[in-house]
Every structure is written in C-alpha cells, then in structure tokens.
C-alpha cells in the first residue's frame, strides 16, 4: 500500500510508459494520424474530465458527438474546443441520461445521421446528495451513472459492431468508473434496492453505480468476444479530480478535505488521460474486459470481477429496460 502511494505521488510510469502524472495530451500525442475519421460519442462532455476528453480527442482529429441536457453549455464547450482546434467537427444532440425515452430519442437522432461509431465513452456522472428519482421512478444516481449508460450502449452496440466490420478499425467502449467501487459489500449490491432504496446513502449509491459500470464493461466484453466482434469494452478509474461531480457537496468541509488531499488530486487533464488512453492507444488493441488506472491495467475487487454477478446485472437491466419501454 505504501509502495503504491509513493509510486502514485512520484508519477512513476507503469508498463504502458505512463503514470499518474501523465496528461491526456501526452498519452495521445502519437495518435493523430490513426484517429482521423473516427467518430466518438462522449457523455458528460460539458464539463470536467468529459470536456477535457472531448477537447483532446477532437485535437487528434476525432469527430465528437456530445449528448447534453444543457444545450447552451454544450455549445459553449464546442466553441471553446474549436478555438483550439478550428477543424474539429463537433455535433451536439440533446439527451437526459436518467430518462429511457430521452436516450431512445437521442439514439434515433444519432443513427439518422448515418455516421460511423468507433468510440463510445460512458463518462457522465451524478452524485446526488439527497434521494431523488428519475422520470422513470428510479433512484437518480443509479439511473444516470449506470442504467442510462447501459441503455445507451445497448441501443448503439450494433452500429459499433457494424462500423468496426466495415472499416476494419477496432471499436472501443470505455466506462468511466471509480476506485470507490471497492467500498461496496456483496450483501449491499441488490438490484431492486438500488432502483428504489429504502435507506439512502449518497456515497454508497455512487459506489454501487461505479461497481455496476465495471460489471457492465466486463459483461459487454464477454458478449462481444463470444460473437467475435471487433469491439472492446473496458472500465477506467480516472483518479481523484475535483470536478462538477461534487457540485452538490460544496462547503467548508469539502473544500478543506480537498485542500488537505491536494497532493493526491489530479488535474483535469491528468484525470482524462486514462480515458483517452483506453480510447485511442494502439497498446489497447485487442485488450478488453479490463480495469485501468493511470493508463495501466490494475486489479479491481473480487465482486467487480465476478462473471456471474456481471451476467445477472446485465439480465436484470435488460428486463427492466424492456418493461419500461413497453409502457
């Protein structure tokens, strides 16, 4: 543990050649030529790590699709990115990731554009301080962080498989998770209770959704391998970055905590590095079903690695999705 902490603080490079101090620009600096003509959908790209991910991928020639609830904010991000990369192609479409009907509408609009889809980055995150429910009557953190991305991925999967087969370029799905997935005990991870919890704890709800993101990546990876599709799926932990995810937790205590922990915090561009690495690096060719931190494969918990748990979660999510769409 002490050895890992020292390595983290020093920014020591791992097997990939990168470490905790590596930036998104650094890990993608050699990939501009190979990333031309790629199309990426990045959720949560109107702020923080998602915005930085969009900026860097656009800089490398990737066409960016930004699904956003706040279209004004998305337009401001588009303008900012294009100031630095005038040739960047950025498309904005409306979405509410906590709503099944909104996700379905977004996918219909995107598919109607007849664009390829090479990269799907499920980055958006919600940390709800109080118990809130989505329009579908599902606890908001779980609905946004996990179920929204599950549904989005399901509706876009065939387009990704089709694009990879037509272009001969491996498609990549990247789920942005968190090290806090390790805080979830097996007995706490019950699907129906996560949908409508009797006793709400914001930290636990967030950790459960991040665990679900890893299980989702692992099950999608298994299914893609089974059908021999040229698409990979991985989960990443970006590190601890002070971003909009804690906007509901501002205050003296939170600010003091981040000040004391400042040596452990990453900048936004360092936080986006592992996502960008997973999305573009040639070193990730053929790598699937893994969990990455600081641009290197690392261990996740036994529960997050449980294949049967991943399959069960996927089946429960599918059943829920089908029930809600039939209403």
Asked whether the CA dihedral 147, 151, 152, 153 is positive or negative, the reply is positive
**β-pair partners for 139:** 133
Which of 130, 299, 161, 282 shows the shortest CA–CA distance to 229?
A: 161
The one catalytic residue in 31, 200, 277, 291 is: 200
Between CA 273 and CA 26 the distance in angstroms is 8
3-state per-residue secondary structure call for 133-146: ECCCCCEHHHHHHH
Between CA 79 and CA 88 the distance in angstroms is 10
**Interhelix angle for 148-167 vs 100-112, to 10°?**
20
Annotated active-site residue 18? The verdict is no
Phi, psi dihedrals of residue 266, rounded to the nearest 5°: -100, 155
Asked whether the CA dihedral 240, 272, 233, 5 is positive or negative, the reply is negative
For residues 204 and 187, is the Cβ–Cβ distance under 8 A?
Answer: no
Range list of β-strands (E), 26-96: 39-42, 63-68, 90-94
CA-to-CA separations, 184 to 33, 187, 277, 290, in angstroms, rounded: 41, 8, 27, 19
Between CA 34 and CA 51 the distance in angstroms is 22
Q: How far does the chain reach from its first CA to its final CA, in angstroms?
A: 50
**Interhelix angle for 307-325 vs 100-112, to 10°?**
90
Residues with active-site annotation = 200
């Amino acid at each position: 543990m002490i050895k890992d902490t020292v390595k983290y603080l020093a920014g020591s490079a791992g097997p990939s050649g990168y470490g905790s101090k590596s930036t998104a620009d650094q890990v993608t600096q050699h990939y501009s030529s190979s990333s031309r003509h790629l199309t990426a959908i990045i959720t949560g790209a109107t702020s923080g790590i998602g915005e930085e991910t969009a900026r860097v991928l656009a800089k490398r020639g990737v066409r960016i699709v930004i699904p956003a609830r706040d279209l004004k904010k998305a337009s401001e991000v588009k303008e900012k990115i294009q100031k630095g990369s005038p040739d960047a192609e950025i498309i904005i479409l409306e979405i509410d990731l906590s709503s099944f009907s909104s996700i379905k509408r977004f996918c219909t609009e995107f598919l109607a554009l007849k664009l390829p889809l090479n990269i799907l980055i499920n980055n958006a995150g919600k940390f709800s301080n109080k118990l809130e429910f989505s329009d579908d009557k599902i606890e908001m953190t779980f609905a946004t962080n996990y179920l929204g991305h599950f549904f989005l991925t399901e509706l876009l999967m065939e387009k990704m498989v089709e694009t990879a087969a037509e272009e001969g370029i491996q498609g990549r799905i990247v789920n942005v998770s968190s090290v806090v997935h390790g805080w979830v005990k097996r007995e706490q991870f019950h699907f129906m209770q996560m949908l409508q919890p009797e006793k709400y704890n914001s930290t636990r709800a967030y950790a459960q959704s991040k665990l679900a993101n890893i299980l989702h990546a692992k099950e999608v990876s298994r299914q893609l391998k089974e059908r021999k599709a040229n698409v990979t799926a991985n989960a990443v932990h970006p590190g601890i970055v002070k971003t909009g995810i804690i906007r509901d937790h501002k205050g003296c205590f939170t600010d003091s905590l981040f000040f004391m922990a400042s040596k452990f915090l990453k900048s936004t561009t360092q936080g986006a590095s592992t996502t960008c690495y997973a999305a573009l690096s040639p070193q990730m060719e053929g790598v699937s079903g893994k969990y990455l931190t600081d641009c290197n494969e690392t261990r996740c918990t036994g529960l997050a690695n449980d294949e049967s748990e991943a399959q069960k979660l996927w089946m429960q999510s599918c059943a829920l999705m089908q029930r809600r769409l039939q209403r």
